[in-house]
Amino acid sequence: MIIIRLDRMMADRKMSLNELADKVGMTNVNLSNLKTGKMKGIRFETLDAICRVLDCQPGDIMEYKAD
């Protein structure tokens, strides 16, 4: 299972969902779905943009846990 830790990174960077969505070029709804784990996948281009804006690594926002 992949756990999304995007909310933690956003809090650490004091960035709102709206601000991140605007800087990444995503809709608030899609970013919210990603943040809550409702998305089935993410494009590398999107992951790259999120990591660039938040100045983090993919492992900072995603975590793998065995079922």
CATH of the domain at 24: 1.10.260.40
Q: How many domains does the chain have?
A: 1
Residue 56 belongs to domain spanning? 2-64
- pTM of the predicted model as reported, rounded to 2 decimal places: 0.90
Taking CA atoms, 23 is separated from 40, 46, 62, in Å, by: 22, 11, 20
Q: pLDDT per position in the chain (67 positions), as tens?
A: 899 999 999 999 999 999 999 999 999 999 999 999 898 899 999 999 999 999 999 999 999 999 8
Burial of 61 (0-12, 13-18, 19+ CB in 10 A): buried
Compute the half-sphere exposure of residue 57: CA atoms within 13 Å on the CB side of its CA. Answer: 3
